[in-house]
Structure 1
């Protein structure tokens, strides 16, 4: 059986590595970039791992995830878009990290619908205060059904405090390209180990999280296009309106939340006989966009981490024509760190 010191080291390793590997694809938050999941400091991770491997200076993580649907900062589509994703992450003891994540929507003909490239730096401000800054660039496959992004870059900054009762994180993200948006994600979580209940040697626990997302919605005004245009550009795709592949991620492939193909780029104008009026004031206003509850089960088996998760999202303050609705999301993530 794992000793108390061994268990504590594994628990700390879970806390820090989990937040990092979740942050990189979501940035967010924004993950909340962005499922996203968010990092703690690489310094804390290095200190923990150093107890067992004093000479180790860096770590690699290979991960894979599948989910039953996709969303973008609380906005989802009328049609479900399940996806699979693969991630490769490098973390240096100094706190510098880099990551590449590729997404494949199940209903598309291409092999890769989107690839996100991210770099960042994680560091500790005080013993219980952690921070991360990062940049990400988003690349899309030629035949992806995702509407081509007006924003393809993201800058994010995150601070987190472990104050005993809860682990609280605040992430701010600036998404830019042809247009721009700002987002903030406030989340509270606490990892609760369960294996001590039966003296288990492997770390098993739940990591419930409650989060609130706020931001602007220029992406909604500029990303929509008609179903006819999308079908003509991507013949045979059969996927009018599509969701970004990672929940909470500030991705470049902004989707049509309503799945209607409405053109909101100019208020009162549209194609295909359909119009939706969205004012500049509406999309520029910084509003709460989403409330979310997530309940993952975390299982550590040596260097492997398994995480089945349930998430319930409640979008609010939608602009006109936004068909996003409260719904459940299911996902499964597996990763290997070495």
Structure 2
């Protein structure tokens, strides 16, 4: 039986949740994560998606107030492995019709049956009246991801270099276990899938210092009389490479041959947090629908 490879990127993951590429294959009406026994044949594809998120999360950091958002996403994947994508993000409760537009391109490759990867570049464009999400200090991202499927689970290491108003480097380590049901829900063409994931993010935090300098009025949110540690008046050494965040995520998806509806919950544990941000343990919720043409 032939297996058809398609590349789906939920660009909002890269945009507001700092997620990485999500390779899928097509097998007899099911979308599956690539296994080491698969013979992969690339096929041209287009995917579109809509996503809701309970708060904007950027490499384990959030702003001083919540920013729930909606996004629409588009991905074109060529047979060669090259792909292009775009995403329009609307932060709920703010005036601009579109707060952020993300554009990017990249390439998917396979080292071997067990090892694959992607390299991509993303450009983030923000409206002048956009909500003050913490990500707005960065406008470019170079992403390099390598994944290893060791049968029991799948692990990945992702390096990101972000630059713009500030420059930062991040290293994200994930381990996930993909599970799908052997039974159908409504007919023989659908199934449920689960992909519990644990993650750790390490990196620098110059983007936080830039955000603080650009938005000094955020001190008013905490009603303090003395400058907080991590503020522009009393800065941290944000150029240090530190652990930033640990998280556990549980996505549950309903799948059919051409589309998927997924709900996911992420429990986030920020560490080495700057005083101004006041980040605490938090649960994030995302609801995503995407449709695949091939």
**With structure 2 as the length reference, what TM-score do the two structures score?**
0.83
The 1:91/1:214 distance shift into structure 2, 3 A limit, reads same
Aligned counterparts of 2:243 and 2:230: Cα–Cα separation in 1: 27
Q: Note the 1:1-338 alignment, pairs <5 A.
A: 17=7, 20-22=8-10, 24-27=11-14, 34-40=17-23, 57-146=43-132, 149-196=136-183, 201=188, 202-225=190-213, 276-279=233-236, 282-338=237-293
CA deviations on 1:5-64 (whole Å, 9 max, x unpaired) are 69xx5xx86xx64xx424x4444xxx8x7453424489x98x8785xxxxx841000000
* Larger helix percent: 1
CA deviations on 1:154-175 (whole Å, 9 max, x unpaired) are 1110000001111101000000
- Matched-pair contact (CA < 8 Å) for 1:90–1:98: yes
Aligned counterparts of 1:76 and 1:99: Cα–Cα separation in 2: 25
SS in 2 for 1:93: coil
- Matched-pair contact (CA < 8 Å) for 2:230–2:276: no
- Matched-pair contact (CA < 8 Å) for 2:110–2:117: yes
How many residues of Structure 1 are paired with residues of Structure 2 in the alignment?
Answer: 280
- Please list every run of 5 or more consecutive structure 2 residues that lacks an aligned counterpart in the other structure: 26-32
- Please list every run of 5 or more consecutive structure 1 residues that lacks an aligned counterpart in the other structure: 51-55, 230-240, 242-255
SS in 2 for 1:224: helix
**With structure 1 as the length reference, what TM-score do the two structures score?**
0.73
- Matched-pair contact (CA < 8 Å) for 2:228–2:275: no
CA deviations on 1:233-288 (whole Å, 9 max, x unpaired) are xxxxxxxx6xxxxxxxxxxxxxx9x96699xxx99997xxxx65113xx2111111
- Matched-pair contact (CA < 8 Å) for 2:209–2:230: no
CA deviations on 1:56-113 (whole Å, 9 max, x unpaired) are 8410000000011111111123422110000010001111000001100111011000
- Matched-pair contact (CA < 8 Å) for 1:39–1:132: no
CA deviations on 1:266-316 (whole Å, 9 max, x unpaired) are 99997xxxx65113xx21111110001110012112201110111110000
- Matched-pair contact (CA < 8 Å) for 1:66–1:82: yes
- Matched-pair contact (CA < 8 Å) for 1:155–1:174: yes
CA deviations on 1:201-249 (whole Å, 9 max, x unpaired) are 21311110100000001111111247676xxxxxxxxxxx6xxxxxxxx
